[in-house]
Amino acid sequence: MSVRAAAATKRQESGTRGLSPDAGQELLQILVDSVKEYAILTLDSKGYVTTWTPAAERLTGYKAEEILGKHFSVFYPEEDVSAGKCERELEQATRDGMVEDEGWHIRKDRSRFWASVAVTALKSKDGTLRGFGTVTRDWTGRRRTEDKFRAFLESAADAVVIVNPKGEIALVNSQTEALFGYSRAELLGEPVEKLIPERFRNQHLGHRSGYLAHPRPRAMGAGLELFATHKDGHEFPVEISLSPVETEEGTMVTSSIRDVTQRRQTEEKVRRQAREIMEMATVPVVQVWEGILLVPLIGMLDSARTQQFMERLLQSLTQTASPVAVIDITGVPTIDTQTAQHLMETIKAVRYIGAEVVLTGVRPVIAQTLVHLGVDLSATTTRASLAAGLRVAFSLLNLHVAAETTA
Amino acid sequence: MNVLGHGEVKITVESDIAVARRAVREVAMQIGFGPTEVARIVTAASELSRNVHKYAGSGVMQWHAIENGSNGGLELRFEDHGPGIADVSEALREGFTTGGGLGMGLPGAKRLMDEMEIQSALGQGTKVVVRKWRRQ
Amino acid sequence: MQSESIAVIKLRNTLLVTMPADPDDSTIAALQERTLEAMSQYDVRGLVLDLSKVEILDSYFARTVSETAQMVGLMGGETIIAGMRPSVAITATELGVTLGKTRTVMSVDRALELAGQPAQGVKAR
C-alpha cells in the first residue's frame, strides 16, 4: 500500500484539519521524503517493501526500483535472518502493535550500520492487518560511542557500578565482579543495596533520594568510613565517587568504587607510629652508657602514663640488651598509692625480662611516704641522688661484664 | 574473618582454652590493638575461659567487635551454667581464693581489661563480660 | 588441637627447655613432668627455661613454672628464666602472678653462662 493510500485512510479516520485532502497528502509526502535521519518505509503484511524514500536510499544505498517488492530481510545480516529475527519482529509488531529493536543492518554495498528500528503494524479499523510501517535510524555513531564507553569502563582501575533511578544496578565492569565476588548476571537488575552491609541499607535508601534531588559529581559519604560487602559476607572499607548521567531513562548514577583496605592499614600504621613518637617525647629513655638506660620520670604516674612508660622502657631494654635501668624519680612530686603500685609493677616487669633496676632521686619525703604506704623496696637498689645511682649502675654493669668474662 | 562482627568459641574440653586464646588474638590484632594490648586481652580471655572450664565444666565465649564513636574495641562474653558465684564482690577482691592456687582469676582479668561486668548467683550460672578499647 | 611436645635437652650440667609461643595446658603440664624426669635421670645443676617465643603467660602457666622451680630447688637445682618478652612481663605483673624462686635473664646464652656457675643466693620473685 502506498503512503498516499495510507494517508487517505488516516484522513478518513481522524480527519485532517483545515486542508484539502490533496494538500494534506502532499504535505505528508514531503515530510516523509524530507526526513533525513530516519528512513520511513512500508511493507506489506508479508514483509515485502511497498514504499521507498530518498532517506531510505541514502541510508541503505538501494534505489526504489531495486528494492520495491523485495523482502525486508535483505537489510538484515545472515545470522539474524537464519535466527528468524525478521519473522519475530513482524509477529511481535502484529501482536503488540509496535516493536522496537536495535541491531546491525546491511547496505547494498554489504557494509554494516547499527540501526534502531521501530516496526508498526498498520491495521484497518476492523483490525485486518494491512502491512507494516518501519522507521529506521542509523545509530552507528552511537553504537561506537557505546562500545567506546564499555571499553572505557573495562579499562577503569576501579570498580564501576551504574545505577538507574530506581536504585537497580544497570551496568558493571569486570573490576566490580572481581571486587565483590559476584558475576555480572548476579548483579544486573539487583538493588544496589545488595553491595552494602545490612545495617547501612536503610540509610542508603535515604541517601540515594537525597542525591537524586541534587545530583552532582562528588565523593560519597564525606567524612564517614564506608564499607562494602563481598558475596562471601566479609566487609571491606571503600571510597566511592558519584557522578550523575542524564539519560532517556532518567538520572543514572555512576559510582566508582575503590577498596581502601590497604590504605586504611597504612594509615593505621602511620597513626600508631605517630603515637609512639609522641610517647617518646613524653617519656624519654636515655642511654647513658652501653648497657645502662636512664629514665627521668617527671610528674605523677597515672595508669596511662605508666603503661606507656613500662612498654617503652622494656622495649628499649630488650632491644639494646641493657642489663641495667636507672629510674630517676627526682621529678615526681609526690607518691600516692597508685603511683607506688605502678612503680613496683614496673620494677617487677623489668626484672622479669632479665634486667635490674636502680631507683634514684628518692628524697627524704618520698622515702617517708613509701615506708608509710608499706611499699617493700628491699629487693631494689635505691639511692637519693642520680649521681649515686649511676655509680651503682656502673658497678652492677661491671659485675655483669665480669660474670660474662669468667664464664 | 569478618572483623566488624562477632564469633564464638565453645568451651567444653581443656584444649578449648587455647582455642579461645587463638581466636581472641586474631580478632584483637585485626581490630588494631598493639602487641601489649593484645597480650593483655588474650591473657584475660585465658583466665576467664579457664574459669568456665574449671568451675562449670563447659560454657561459651563470645566476642564482639565494638565501636564507641570513632574508636574501636573488643568485647568478650563468658557464659556458663555452672554452680555460680555466691559473692561476686568477694571474688573480685584481690587475692580471693576458692581452691588451689590463684583463685578465680577475676581480679587479674579486671586489671587487664578496661571494663568488667559480672552476673552470677549460686546455682544460676555465671556471665562475665569484659571490654577493652583501643588507646587513642 | 594436639598438644605440642616439648623437648628437654641436657647441655653439660644444665637442662634446657624451650617453650612454644602459645602452649596449651597439656604442654605446660608436660614441662613439669619432663623436667622432673630429667632431673632424676641426670646429674644437673638446674633448669634453663627459654621463654623467648612465649606470647602469653596466664595464671596456670605461671603457677606451673613456679611449682617446677620449687621442685627443682628441692632437688638441689636452680631455675633460670630467659628471654621473657616485654608484653608478657607486663601482663604477668598486672595479672599479679609469681614465678617463684627463679632468676630471670635476657638471653639463653646468658642463662647458660650463669647456670655453669655455683648458685648465688636466689631471690624470690
Are B18 and C91 an interchain contact pair (Cβ–Cβ within 8 Å)? no
The reported pLDDT for the residue numbered B4 is: 57
DSSP symbol at A246: E
Nearest to B39 among C23, C26, C55 (CB): C55
Query: What ipTM was reported for this prediction?
Result: 0.89
**Full domain range(s) for residue C41:** 8-115
The reported pLDDT for the residue numbered C119 is: 47
pLDDT in tens, C88-114: 999 999 998 889 889 999 999 999 988
Nearest Cα to Cα of residue C45 among C94, C79, C86: C79
A286-289 and A292-298 as β-strands: parallel, antiparallel, unpaired? antiparallel
- B6-133 carries CATH number 2.60.120.10: no
Average pLDDT of the segment spanning A248-258:
89
Rounded to the nearest angstrom, the minimum Cα separation between A397 and chain B is 28
Output A304 or C49, whichever has higher pLDDT.
C49
Domains located in chain A, CATH noted: 35-139 (3.30.450.20), 156-263 (3.30.450.20), 279-406 (3.30.750.24)
Are A304 and B2 an interchain contact pair (Cβ–Cβ within 8 Å)? no
Average pLDDT of the segment spanning A137-161:
84
- CA-to-CA distance for A351 and C105, rounded, in angstroms? 8
Give residue C24's identity as a one-letter amino acid code.
D
Give me chain C's average pLDDT, please: 88
- CA-to-CA distance for B11 and B21, rounded, in angstroms? 11
- CA-to-CA distance for A7 and A5, rounded, in angstroms? 5
Domain-located, residue C96? yes
In chain A, the residue whose alpha carbon lies closest to the alpha carbon of C50 is: A353
- CA-to-CA distance for A336 and C15, rounded, in angstroms? 44
Give residue A206's identity as a one-letter amino acid code.
G
| Torsion on CA atoms C63, C65, C66, C69, rounded to nearest 10 | 160
Candidates C54, C59, C97, C98: best to mutate against B (most CBs of B within 10 A) is C59
From chain A, pick out residues whose CB is under 8 angstroms from the CB of C92.
Answer: 349, 352
The reported pLDDT for the residue numbered A143 is: 74
Nearest Cα to Cα of residue A245 among A271, A211, A278: A211
Domain-located, residue C56? yes
Give residue A320's identity as a one-letter amino acid code.
T
Which helix or strand (DSSP H or E) is residue C55 part of?
Answer: none
**Could you tell me which residues are beta bridge partners of residue C107?**
none
In chain A, the residue whose alpha carbon lies closest to the alpha carbon of C89 is: A349
Per-residue confidence band for B94, with pLDDT thresholds at 50, 70 and 90: low
Domain-located, residue C122? no
Which CATH number covers residue C83?
3.30.750.24
pLDDT in tens, B5-38: 889 999 999 999 999 999 999 999 988 899 999 9
Q: Which three cell numbers stand for residue A406?
A: 669468667
Output B94 or A61, whichever has higher pLDDT.
A61
In chain C, the residue whose alpha carbon lies closest to the alpha carbon of B54 is: C60
Nearest Cα to Cα of residue A153 among A175, A178, A183: A175
Q: Which three cell numbers stand for residue C121?
A: 643466693
Which helix or strand (DSSP H or E) is residue C56 part of?
Answer: none
Output A273 or A75, whichever has higher pLDDT.
A75
pLDDT in tens, C72-88: 999 999 999 999 999 99
- Burial of B93 from C-beta contacts in 10 A (0-12 / 13-18 / 19+): exposed
Domain count for chain C, please give it. Answer: 1
B16 touching C, CB under 8 A? Answer: no
Q: Does the pLDDT value for residue B64 go beyond 90?
A: yes
- CA-to-CA distance for B39 and A1, rounded, in angstroms? 90
Q: Which three cell numbers stand for residue B93?
A: 577482691
Q: Which three cell numbers stand for residue C34?
A: 619432663
Domain-located, residue C121? no
